[in-house]
């Protein structure tokens, strides 16, 4: 199969996934309890049936689900995400203002959990069945069993209040400011992922170390450092990269709690606000963005795979 048709098939698959996800998102928000028309009309107290009907007609809320969905999808394809019911701004502007913060937070957290998680996993695998191994496994288990909001509070009280090293709220100005402001949120976001990644790294390296070619390399007197780096870690990269990708993609949709705890205005807090106020267009746009992000990250991981294991090349369809 040529590269062109492979790419075309992959793209078609992506679009189909996005299409299916968009319908699920639209239908779920539509089916959510509560009537946005009541909110749009300005509350229950001065509500008349005529006013309600006119609001419904104005926002096309009186049409059947499929028609509304079709209208929304058509606008989305033309890069028009609609106007927010609550803020009356373009949804695209709202999201564009909030998204970079979340993206920075997720990128920072990813950097932390990849470096620390893979590092701890490698350490545990190399020092297998020693106290170092037990320490890593025990420490990461503890980190994973603490919910991120609890970790957030602990981090704030220790590093923010007691030691005063980092600011406890807001997202900061400029590169240095952003880095300082996002350190604690990123850390509390990364703690849970750390355990998963270090476990996957440790196990994947243990599996790779059991292969015959590792023993063969050892029997040929290849230095131990090279065996760990070029044979064990190199061959364990497949599961590690896959897991890092999945965890990172999951984080895109999981920043809500941390954003709330640290008072960061990212898309997580935007989504929660939109759902609470029945702001359909905003909720739908944010959810669609999260799904797109997830798909983008997992596709990237898929594309990287043939580089990690040349045997995969051509086998993927």
Partner 1 sequence: MTLLDIADLTVRIPGAARPVLDTVTLTVRPGEVVGLVGESGSGKSTTAKAAIGLLPPGATATGQVRFAGADVLGLTGERLRAHRAGPVGMVHQDPRAALNPVRRIGDFLTERGATRARAAELLAAVGLSEPERRLRQRPHELSGGMLQRVVIAGALAAEPRLLLADEATSALDVTTQAEILALLRDLRATRDLGLLLITHDLHLAAAYCDRVYVMYAGRVVEERTAKALFATPAHPYTRGLLSCSPTLRTSTVGAPVPLTPIPGRPPSLADAFAGCPFVARCPVAETACETWPPEPKALPDGGTTSCRVLPVEASRT
Site residues, partner 1 (CB under 8 A): 211-213, 216-224, 226, 230-231, 234-235, 308-311
Our CB check for partner 1 shows the closer of 60 and 213 to be 213
Our CB check for partner 1 shows the closer of 161 and 315 to be 315
Minimum CB distance to partner 1, residue 221 (Å): 3
What would the DSSP string read from start to end of the chain? --HHHHHHHHHHHHHHHHHHHHHHHHHHHHHSSS-HHHHHTT-STT--HHHHHHHHHHTTTTS-HHHHHHHHHHHHHTT---B-TTT-SBHHHHHHHHHHHHHHHHHHHHHHHHHHHHHHHHHHHHTTTSHHHHHHHHHHHHHHHS-HHHHHHHHIIIIIIIS--S-SSS--SHHHHHHHHHHHHHHHHHHHHHHHHHHHHHHHHHHHHTSHHHHHHHHTT--HHHIIIIIIIHHHHHHHHHHHHHHHHHHHT--HHHHHHTT--SHHHHHHHHHHTT-HHHHHHHHHHHHHHHHHHHHHHHHHHHHH-GGGTTT--
Minimum CB distance to partner 1, residue 300 (Å): 20
Our CB check for partner 1 shows the closer of 35 and 224 to be 224
Minimum CB distance to partner 1, residue 217 (Å): 7
Minimum CB distance to partner 1, residue 117 (Å): 22
Our CB check for partner 1 shows the closer of 50 and 212 to be 212
Our CB check for partner 1 shows the closer of 33 and 310 to be 310
Our CB check for partner 1 shows the closer of 71 and 213 to be 213
Token pair recorded at residue 54: 């006119």
C-alpha to C-alpha distance for 190 and 118, rounded to whole angstroms: 12
What would the DSSP string read from start to end of 72-137? HHHHHHTT---B-TTT-SBHHHHHHHHHHHHHHHHHHHHHHHHHHHHHHHHHHHHTTTSHHHHHHH
Minimum CB distance to partner 1, residue 235 (Å): 6
Minimum CB distance to partner 1, residue 281 (Å): 47
Our CB check for partner 1 shows the closer of 42 and 223 to be 223
Minimum CB distance to partner 1, residue 311 (Å): 5
Minimum CB distance to partner 1, residue 294 (Å): 28
Our CB check for partner 1 shows the closer of 9 and 213 to be 213
């Amino acid at each position: 199969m040529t590269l062109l048709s492979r790419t075309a098939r992959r793209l078609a698959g992506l679009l189909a996934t996005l299409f299916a996800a968009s319908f699920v998102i639209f239908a779920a928000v539509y089916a959510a309890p509560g009537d946005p028309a009541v909110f749009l009309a300005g509350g229950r107290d001065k509500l008349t049936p005529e006013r309600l009907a006119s609001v419904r007609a104005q926002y096309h809320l009186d049409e059947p689900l499929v028609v509304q969905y079709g209208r929304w999808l058509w606008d989305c394809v033309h890069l028009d995400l609609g106007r927010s019911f609550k803020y009356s701004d373009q949804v695209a502007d709202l999201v564009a203002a909030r998204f970079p913060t979340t993206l920075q937070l997720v990128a920072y957290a990813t950097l932390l959990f990849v470096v620390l998680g893979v590092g701890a996993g490698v350490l545990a695998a190399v020092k297998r069945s020693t106290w170092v191994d037990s320490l890593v496994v025990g420490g990461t288990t503890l980190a994973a069993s603490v919910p991120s909001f609890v970790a957030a509070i602990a981090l704030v009280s220790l590093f923010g209040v007691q030691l005063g090293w980092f600011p406890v709220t807001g997202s900061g100005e400029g590169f240095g400011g952003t880095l300082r402001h996002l350190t604690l949120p990123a850390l509390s976001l990364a703690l849970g992922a750390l355990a998963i990644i270090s476990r996957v790294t440790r196990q994947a390296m243990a599996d790779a170390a059991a292969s015959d070619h590792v023993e063969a390399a050892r029997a040929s007197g290849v230095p131990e450092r090279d065996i760990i780096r070029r044979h064990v870690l190199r061959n364990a990269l497949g599961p590690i990269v896959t897991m890092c990708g999945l965890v990172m993609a999951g984080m895109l949709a999981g920043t809500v709690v941390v954003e709330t705890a640290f008072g960061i205005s990212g898309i997580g807090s935007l989504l929660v606000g939109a759902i609470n106020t029945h702001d359909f267009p905003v909720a739908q746009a944010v959810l669609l963005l999260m799904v797109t992000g997830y798909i983008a990250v997992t596709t990237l991981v898929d594309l990287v795979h043939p580089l990690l294991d040349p045997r995969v090349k051509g086998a993927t369809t």
